[in-house]
Amino acid sequence: MTDCLFCKLVSGEIPSAKVYEDDVCYAFDDIEPEAPVHTLIVPKQHYDNLADGVPAGVLGHLLSVVPQVAAAKGVAESGYRTVVNTGPDSAATVAHLHLHVLGGIKMGRFTFEESFRAQDGEEGE
């Protein structure tokens, strides 16, 4: 995809802070981090998201790279979160499959707009 931001990062057309690279994927630091460590792992071949017929081998490889990225970023022992967003409700901003590796801070539970979890001791909806 010629208009895809992540495809341009993978090809080197746009510079990025590379963390890891192999024949299948490329990992780089997010330019708008949500945590002290926020690295994205993207397949070099373009897939819009998890629903785009991604081969199991590619998905497995992306997941197998997560511990290596966590180690490279210094969060392998303290812990990290891995997230994949798919579809409009996920808040994904780039239509190229990517895994977020987040760490470097003590994380709480996920929060969502209009969360079903009880807020401030109240019953959830």
**SS3 category, 46:** coil
**Beta strands 99-103; 80-84: pairing state:** antiparallel
**Residue tagged active-site, from 46, 61, 98, 100:** 98
- Catalytic residue at 98? yes
Residue written as token pair 């690279």: 21
Give the C-alpha separation, 62 to 124, whole Å. 35
DSSP state for residue 72 in the 8-state scheme: H
Question: Any idea which residues carry the catalytic annotation?
Answer: 98
